[in-house]
Amino acid sequence: MGIEKMKMPQLGESVTEGTITKWLVSPGDQVNKYDPIAEVNTDKVNAEVPSSFTGTIKELIAEEGDTLEVGEFICSIEVEGAGSADEEAPAQETPASDDSAAKEDKQEEKKPVKKADKAQGKVRFSPAVLRLSQEHDIDLDQVEGTGRDGRITRKDLQKLIDSGNIPKAGDAKPAAPAKEEPKQAPVQEAPAPAAAAPSKPAAPAPNVPVMPGDVEIPVTGIRKAIAANMLRSKHEAPHAWTMMEVDATNLVGYRNTIKGEFKQREGYNLTFFAFFVKAVAQALKEFPMINSMWAGDKIIQKKDINISIAVATDDALFVPVIKNADEKTIKGIAREITELAGKVRSGKLKSEDMQGGTFTVNNTGSFGSVQSMGIINYPQAAILQVESIVKRPVVMDNGMIAVRDMVNLCMSLDHRVLDGLVCGRFLQRVKEIIENISKENTSIY
């Protein structure tokens, strides 16, 4: 028998951490390889984490609500046979055997957490605990943990924050400050893999007064992740914006004549959005620079045209991906839009459904918006907002005024990668494709 430790997996491109929202197993449970053991929430997806081994759950290292970096240990499993190959290499460099390591793990499990150990940096706190303590200036040496073997949990800190009774450094034992100093220095040196850089402490939360009748809504892990990604995009990518007005009268007429037959034949709706995604994919093929990403010392121009589409729920925003959209028909794109939106709203979206996006198209017109400036889906170089199609009086080329179906296309771009000229030509091409849609020019299948 041996002890294997499972790590937080990477559940998507650019995903660096995940929050354990629910454990599906308990210590002592038997699991098979690939059995789901936990539900994990990231900024991109909610997913079940499968077991990497067959055996018995030994210890749940992370607690529900803990946020851990990719590669950090989340649980240990007792399995038959020797350790995995990637853990055997380090063992050869040290005299300790797998059996002795297992014994040390058992001894560590039985050893209660002491304040002295915390002060000397011997206790490893979870990233969520470290982050919360730094945000609220909590002295962990003065906190009594309620977790396994006295470990401090995120819930312990949240209870202190809610009560307002936050222990600060220096509050305890004021009569012997000289003895406290050696304890304080090592605390700052304790491992903090997921915490922000110590030179830049997190900004304090704004002091918002709560009045009678106000409703306090806890910020979920996925909402925090969305906020962090949006902030990163705005801070790192110099955003520029451009908008183009498009006459969609021909599109509206053509789609309205075939939508009933299409729904009856295919079983799902033929939306306007599918036409726009197809037009964008075609234009990206002609203007490949738009299909690029910033990589520090170089720009990566992506070969595949994978369109991310924004799908919102009541409390979150997801961006599943239509892979190789330029190779798909309008019918195929409409089917994928329907399937991906259904997965999001039923909670069945998988990590692979979110990976590989190279350009984002957002259907802001679905809720009546006529003009908006989207935040770029980092690390992509641009995002296109398709606004609501509305009837407006338009002066035609012959000088006559006519009522036309008009739509605004609003594009946000990363000015490190793209300039206004190439984006203007790209939007002109999308406009040309949309305005020339007709029964004669456009094939749905």
Tell me the catalytic residues: 415, 419
Per-residue tokens: 149? 């073997």
Per the CB < 8 A criterion, the answer to whether 282 and 330 are in contact is: no
Cis peptide before 182 (omega within 30 of 0): no
H or E element at residue 240 = strand 239-247
365: tokens are: 């017109």
CA atoms within 13 A on the CB side of 178: 0
Query: For residues 326 and 280, what is the distance between their CA atoms, to the nearest angstrom?
Result: 9
Phi (first) and psi of residue 373, to 5 degrees? -120, 105
Q: Do 55 and 76 form a contact (C-beta atoms < 8 A)?
A: no
CA dist 283 → 270, 436, 439 (Å): 21, 14, 20
Token match 């709560």: residue? 210
Residue 325, by phi and psi: left (phi above 0), alpha (psi -120 to 50) or beta?
alpha
Burial tier of 31 (Cβ tally within 10 Å: 0-12, 13-18, 19+): buried
Q: Comparing C-alpha atoms, which of 373, 293, 277, 399 is closest to residue 330?
A: 277
CA 314 to chain centre: 16
Judging by beta carbons within 10 Å of its beta carbon (0-12, 13-18, 19+), is residue 167 exposed, middle or buried? middle
